[in-house]
Structure 1
């Protein structure tokens, strides 16, 4: 099988997955489709990790270390309006983050590596991870807790993510933090409702809530180091029922994104102080639910450099523009807390009209598949070669 055919089949499989997306922890058909692909390739696999996770195992022709390659397999609760002829057939569910592409490319990488086993010094693990979108719990920790790496500890882990901000043929590779800490919060402010004509007899939860929202913005503007990225976003503010009733309660939901753990702890501390003090000063009370989400995804310098070298040899330095980290959350960060590795971006821009990840009109450029498949398969071989040389 030639490389062009492998790429075409990967695109075909991606379109199949795209039509039948499944939410976190519900990826049953997706898991079955992956298993059928691996069976057809003769790749041994194990199942059941984190419910629907699959682990393919490729043994090279030579002894050596172990490298794990990860793809996430879940979709999002979004109604698709992309206009693609292979749009989602599952109402209200969409592959709006490219996980269908990650999964199909990893299967294709498996095809490539099976044909190049003579070049493999060691073992390659194909990790199909469920529930990446299920922050703050996710699927990576559960996979590890359930023994996915028992008896086959990876020496290095590698993952790639489609990136609409980069053109096809370019990659985002960097050492250190590449994705941010991703925390969530929910506030229920309790005031004292009453008639709109008599506010003096009430504690207006809406007024208290607006003051809390405004005060939270001072954390980034007045407490955070300007050179340390951080974001406090309120995504939902719900309160009130009638035009002539002062609200008794208000619900505020949002997210906090940071890059460094020091900034994360500072923002978290200031968040609690501000919320408690503002509500108390205005005569209200508050219930705070703060969820520590995914940790920052921090690449090992050694393996980021190795992936940079692999891509440079394949496509030249022009394929590796300087990029800045993102504050988006990524469950792969939990894998990297335990194992060294690298997470990089694959340029998939469709050009003019490109919508961002998680948008109901999100589309990706399938011309990027050949780059994603080749870079990841060569990266696995090169990484194992470097590990072998260092033994």
Structure 2
């Protein structure tokens, strides 16, 4: 542990510099060309072998220990969001309308830091560690993890366990959020176009008001969670956008509704999806309207493997103390790491990055989002340690 911490100290300034460089020049999903180039530059500088071109800009770093063993993968996402930053620090985004408002700049920097440490220790490593730099996490419903696997990111080196880590503004520095099962939710999307008949506001009987129809649909959709889903199961149906109408005295012909459905359990998701289509189609029929439904199955729920969630918890407590892993509730936000967990056992962890003035902390995806950089070396150390601990645990199981 002492040796590993000394390597973290060596690379600490680099971790900060990489994060700030990425923050200043964010790239959206599928556009991570310069980000990917920086990752490859640093991997080369650290002497880490890599392969690239997965899902376009994805990169796989490969650290082969000098002793035989199993394989552990560590993943970081790289893409930014189409958000105009409102912060005033000296490394704000210099790209108009783009910002690292979800901390992926920090994820990339921390994984590079962990890679440096593990490379220095390769003589002692029993097995292989994969560094997965993933594009397009924000590009739901396709994302980047699925396309990376389709492109053969694990064709040569198949992970026995995979870990992902995400900065978390709801937790103070020094704490980590780890759950044995559900961490984050499935994130489906929908767009519904309702078509009635337009007309003059003073003669509603001659038209078929799409606003009234849409209003009935929205009200009815809210009954799915309240009346069709077990109260002990978590689910959300949210309408995020309504668009329709031209002016105050015109009955609109068309209204478009957009929203999202969030769940944990597959059977709950399927139930909501069925009721969603039934309610919309029958309401349209009752009002003699036409309807067009686009339903996009998004990321599945992020469900940890209990065994490796406990492994991550053990590592975190050994490094930062027993108080470092408080009881937490899961979140219904979506996460593309979920598709890795459908194929390989592992765990997704939240790293506490709350700024010192907690009352001023903005949430993820906010134009004023900030994080406490003191957490970044801790995140790098955790990733390196959990990889080593897991490789040792896998070796012990074999023995």
- Give TM class, smaller chain: over 0.9
Question: Which whole-Å CA distance do the structure 1 matches of 2:33 and 2:381 have between them?
Answer: 28
In structure 2, distance between residues paired with 1:119 and 1:11: 27
Large movers: runs of 4+ above 6 Å: none
- Aligned-pair CA distance for 1:2: 4.0
Say which of 377, 380, 389 aligns to 2:387: 380
In 2, are the aligned partners of 1:172 and 1:323 still within 8 Å (CA)? yes
1:240 Cα shift?
0.6
Aligned residue for 1:113? 118
1:243-262 pair list within 5 angstroms:
243-262=248-267
**TM-score normalised by length of structure 2:** 0.96
Are 1:338 and 2:356 matched, yes or no? no
Structure 2 Cα separation of the partners of residues 80 and 342 of structure 1: 31
Report what 1:53 is aligned to.
Answer: 58
Q: Is this contact kept in 2: 1:83–1:361, CA < 8 A?
A: no
Residue 356 (structure 1) aligned with residue 363 (structure 2): yes
Q: Return the offset for 1:262.
A: 1.1
2:138 pairs with 1:133: yes
- Could you tell me which residue of structure 1 aligns to residue 246 of structure 2? 241
For these two proteins, the number of residue pairs brought into alignment is 391
Deviations 1:90-109 (A, max 9, x none): 11111000000000000000
Residue 144 (structure 1) aligned to one of 144, 149, 152:
149
- Give the SS at the match of 1:82: coil
Q: Summarize deviations over 1:208-261 as a string: whole Å, max 9, x none.
A: 111111111111111111111100011110001122211100000000000111
Instruction: Check the 8 A contact 1:24/1:131 in 2, yes or no.
Output: yes
1:242-391 aligned within 5 A: 242-350=247-355, 351-391=358-398
- Which runs of no fewer than 5 residues in structure 2 stay unpaired? 1-5
Does the 8 Å CA contact 1:230/1:257 hold for their aligned counterparts?
yes
Contact 1:119/1:381, CA 8 A, preserved across alignment: no
**Distance in 2 separating the partners of 1:257 and 1:90:** 32
TM-score (norm 1): 0.98
- Compute the RMSD of aligned alpha carbons: 0.9
1:89-238 superposed matches below 5 A: 89-238=94-243
Q: 1:339 to 1:2 in 2, by over 3 A?
A: closer
- Return the offset for 1:117: 1.7
3-state SS of 1:77 partner: coil
Question: 1:38·1:45 contact (CA, 8 Å) conserved in 2?
Answer: yes
Counterpart CA distance in 2 for 1:9 and 1:249 is: 54
SS of the aligned residue for 2:256 comes to strand
